[in-house]
Amino acid sequence: MRPHRGVLRVAAFAAAAFLLLARAASAAELPSEDEPVLLSADEVSYDRDLGVVTARGHVELSQGDRILLADTLTYNERTGTVSASGNVSLLEPTGDVAFAEYVELTSGLREGVIRDIRVLLADGSRIAANGGRRTGETTEFAKAVYSPCPLCEEDPTRAPLWQLKAVRVTHDQEAHKIEYRDAWLEIYGVPVAYTPYFSHPDPSVTRQTGLLVPEVSFSNSLGPAARIPYYFTLGPSADATFEPIVTTKQGIVLGGEYRRLFRTGEFDINGSITQADRQDEHQNEDEIEDDVIRGHVDAAARFDYDENWRLGADLERASDKTYRRLYDYGNERTLTSQAFAERLHERSYGIGRSLWFQGLRDEDDNDEFPVIWPEAIYHHVGEPWGIGNYLTFDAGVLNLTRTDGRDSRRVHSRAGWHLPYTSRYGYLVELGATLEADGYWVDEVDPDSPLVDPAEAKGGFTGRIFPQLSAELRYPFVQYNERFTQVVEPIVAVIVGPEDPNPDLIPNEDSQDFELDETNLFDPDRTTGIDRADGGQRIDYGLEWSAYGPRGGAVSAFIGQSYQFSPAEDFAPGSGIEDDLSDLVGRLDLTPIPELDLTYRFRLDSQDLAPHRNELQLRAGTPDLNLRLSYIFLDDETATQEFGDREEIYARLRGQITDNWSGAIFALRDLELDRFLSYGVGVTYENWCLAVGAELRREEFDDEEIDPDTKFLLRVTFKTLGGIGNL
């Protein structure tokens, strides 16, 4: 007898509810009541006296993309009970498949029991339990096992790589939380860890409070250590992470991070604090201060006041110079804190800010570091008019003070006219004219400076008016052929301005790190800041060549030089422009195939072509086997206070050893001192259910309490569980 449509609809609801029971990690929704239901069976009967509908033999119930299979399916109209028995299986649209021997649902499908349940999830994970019971929005499984690891093809009865066993597992669908009671973690069937309680969110949850993946490490300075992060969700727009570090030699470090999103911005603060021993930077290196409070803080805030204004602040501080490197909180050598307000409107940009610095190098004296309070900068680019020319205007004020050393105040302005022009014959011309006016008030100029008369060492008022004219010509020649397309482009620029535009009393605060290279060769003002004006007359010239293959390969090269009609006395030796004829600068980019990418930059002496600077970056190989190589050479004249003279090479080789195993080996070597600065090896094992990473590193750096050290790091991640969960 054919049952009425309502009976089939109830059976379909039973199938959907069964999914919620069977799949502890499910976020599936019930099918719509308006969606048609199809029933297929060898036999369907209806007992009017008992009010029971029964389908027997190859029962198939489908609604949409869900399919329920069973030997027998019954519905009792009087008790409202739906049951399925015999080889019960349910295929979900997500690809999950649930199996059971018997399912019974009552109380409007909100309560029920399941016997001998097994679930194969779409990602390959498996769940099995002796039985289960559903009450309202809560499902309990008895003697349950969960594992995402695939079974052995040769012997499926063997225990998987790891599995989680529990006496009772509870899935709260309303809270989207899965809890385990009396749980064991087994590795290849051997119990290795026990917890009376354990929980993690179901896959419908993107984030939830719980323990993240810990890291275990070893170093000579800290001894064996463990970093144990615990994550807190604080509503839909905030979270926090408590991340203590437990060390055997220096006690416990309390660290953490707090993040918050607002409607118009965001805020992020992280830091740490500990009480540990420290080598006093002002004492003999063998003397140790006991139980010193040490720590650091990093904070950043960004807020959009409206579509034009943005406010922000950054705070970076450390208790001492070596703390961040010692506890692996960063390798920065200078920390910068700032507060700013910036405005972007059409073709103009302005910012007002204050900056504070903290030096972390051994030789840094933070009393001599400047405090900028405040600095205001404004840039404007006018609309093109006429034949395409446009005007620019820059302005700014600066107040710079020090606890010990020179103070200065600066007012800056620069107006410019620019005309880019492309002729119908193919050459490109850019003309420019600028006028700069700067005023300074300086106090406590360094009396040892060779540019300052000792009588003027106390400072005073000074300034400059600096006009400059520039013209640049480019004429690209293009050739097409069957094998490649090449472009040859000669470039010439003429810059004219007054010689010696920088009065001796003007301090050089923001233009100390200038070095000639291919990126600034044709800039009219090649300086990196405002305190130095690039005066005099010169001619810049260079040649660029590039070729492009039909399949995407490319190669390009550039070489250039500058001739100055008078020496650039305001720039330090080693800058590359201290003589009439500047050093040769150039670049080579080579990408013939996707598996090879090489960049080489150089600066050569104009007299004997001896290298002053060489840089090489190489990437070669495929994702399965690849090499990263970098080389840098700075001679004594090119060396800066930040880097010093150096010749170093860094190499890293990474390879996929097998489908699951990968490894990497790396080294940084000082070629000048003929010794390694750091080197190490890393190994990673990863499959469907587990990821294990280990790294062994040796560092030969020596800076105050940072001595040569050997470090070992181990990280274990159980897939689908994320971290360890909630204990």
pLDDT digits (tens, 9 = 90+) for 22-65: 333 344 444 555 566 677 889 888 888 888 888 899 888 777 77
**What is the maximum alpha-carbon separation in the chain?**
119
pLDDT in tens, 594-651: 999 999 999 999 888 999 999 999 999 999 999 999 999 988 666 454 555 789 999 9
Say whether pLDDT at 7 is over 50: no
Return the bridge partners of 89, or none.
69, 99
Cα–Cα dist 95/120, whole Å = 9
pLDDT in tens, 110-140: 567 888 888 787 667 788 888 877 776 677 8
pLDDT in tens, 290-307: 789 999 999 999 999 999
Q: How confident is the model at residue 473 (pLDDT cuts 50, 70, 90)?
A: very high
Q: Which pLDDT score is estimated for 391?
A: 97
Which is higher by pLDDT, 498 or 73? 498
> What percent of the chain has pLDDT above 70?
86
Across all residues in the chain, what is the average pLDDT?
A: 85
- Do the beta carbons of residue 421 and residue 387 sit within 8 Å? yes
Which is higher by pLDDT, 449 or 272? 272
Return the bridge partners of 564, or none.
538
Tell me if the pTM is above 0.75.
Answer: yes
Q: Which pLDDT score is estimated for 24?
A: 32
Say whether pLDDT at 67 is over 70: yes
Q: Could you say which DSSP state residue 366 is in?
A: G
Q: Does residue 345 belong to any structural domain of this protein? A: no
Q: How many domains does the chain have?
A: 1
Q: Does residue 342 belong to any structural domain of this protein? A: no
CATH code of the domain containing 147 = 2.60.450.10
pLDDT in tens, 340-390: 999 999 999 999 999 999 999 888 899 999 999 999 999 999 999 988 999
Say whether pLDDT at 262 is over 90: yes
- Do the beta carbons of residue 675 and residue 647 sit within 8 Å? no
Q: At 206, phi and psi to the nearest 5? A: -85, -25
SS3 state at 115: strand
One-letter amino acid of 28: A
One-letter amino acid of 186: E
* Lowest-pLDDT choice from 127-136, 396-405, 588-597: 127-136
> What percent of the chain has pLDDT above 90?
50
- Mean pLDDT throughout 553-579? 88
Say whether pLDDT at 432 is over 90: yes
> Measuring CA to CA, which residue among 30, 107, 102 is closest to residue 66?
30
Q: How confident is the model at residue 725 (pLDDT cuts 50, 70, 90)?
A: very low
Cα–Cα dist 197/144, whole Å = 14
Q: Could you say which DSSP state residue 722 is in?
A: B
Which is higher by pLDDT, 317 or 98? 317
Q: How confident is the model at residue 89 (pLDDT cuts 50, 70, 90)?
A: confident
- Do the beta carbons of residue 394 and residue 413 sit within 8 Å? yes
Q: Which pLDDT score is estimated for 634?
A: 87
Say whether pLDDT at 446 is over 60: no
- Please report which residue ranges of 187-333 form alpha helices under DSSP H: 323-326
Cα–Cα dist 115/134, whole Å = 12
Buried b (16+ CB within 10 A) or exposed e, 236-275: eeebbeebbbbbeebeebebbbbbbeeeeeebebbbbebe
- Kind and range of the H or E element at 348? strand 348-359
- Do the beta carbons of residue 245 and residue 256 sit within 8 Å? no
Instruction: Give me the DSSP letters along 206-224.
Output: S--SEE---EEEEETTTEE
pLDDT in tens, 148-171: 888 887 888 888 888 889 999 887
Q: Does residue 14 belong to any structural domain of this protein? A: yes
Instruction: Give me the DSSP letters along 139-173.
Output: EEEEEEEEE-SPPPSS-TTS--SEEEEEEEEEEET
Q: How confident is the model at residue 575 (pLDDT cuts 50, 70, 90)?
A: confident
Name the burial class of residue 640, with classes exposed (0-12), middle (13-18) and buried (19+) by CB atoms within 10 angstroms of its CB: middle
Q: How confident is the model at residue 709 (pLDDT cuts 50, 70, 90)?
A: confident
Q: Which pLDDT score is estimated for 22?
A: 39
Q: At 50, phi and psi to the nearest 5? A: -90, -15
Q: Which pLDDT score is estimated for 46?
A: 84
- Do the beta carbons of residue 702 and residue 709 sit within 8 Å? no
Domain membership of residue 17 as a residue range: 5-206
Q: Does residue 315 belong to any structural domain of this protein? A: no
Q: Does residue 677 belong to any structural domain of this protein? A: no
Name the burial class of residue 132, with classes exposed (0-12), middle (13-18) and buried (19+) by CB atoms within 10 angstroms of its CB: buried
Which is higher by pLDDT, 699 or 411? 411
Q: Which pLDDT score is estimated for 175?
A: 77
Preceding omega of 374 cis (within 30 degrees of 0): yes
Q: Does residue 177 belong to any structural domain of this protein? A: yes
Structure tokens at 403: 């606890």
Q: Which pLDDT score is estimated for 721?
A: 67
Q: Does residue 128 belong to any structural domain of this protein? A: yes
Cα–Cα dist 117/146, whole Å = 12
Cα–Cα dist 210/231, whole Å = 5
- Mean pLDDT throughout 690-700? 91
- Mean pLDDT throughout 566-592? 87
Structure tokens at 240: 């926090």
pLDDT in tens, 638-690: 645 455 578 999 999 999 999 999 999 999 999 988 999 999 999 999 988 88
Say whether pLDDT at 447 is over 50: no
pLDDT in tens, 500-527: 899 988 998 998 888 899 999 999 999 9
List the Cα angle 661/667/671 in 5-degree steps: 160
Q: Does residue 241 belong to any structural domain of this protein? A: no
* Lowest-pLDDT choice from 82-86, 280-284, 396-400: 280-284
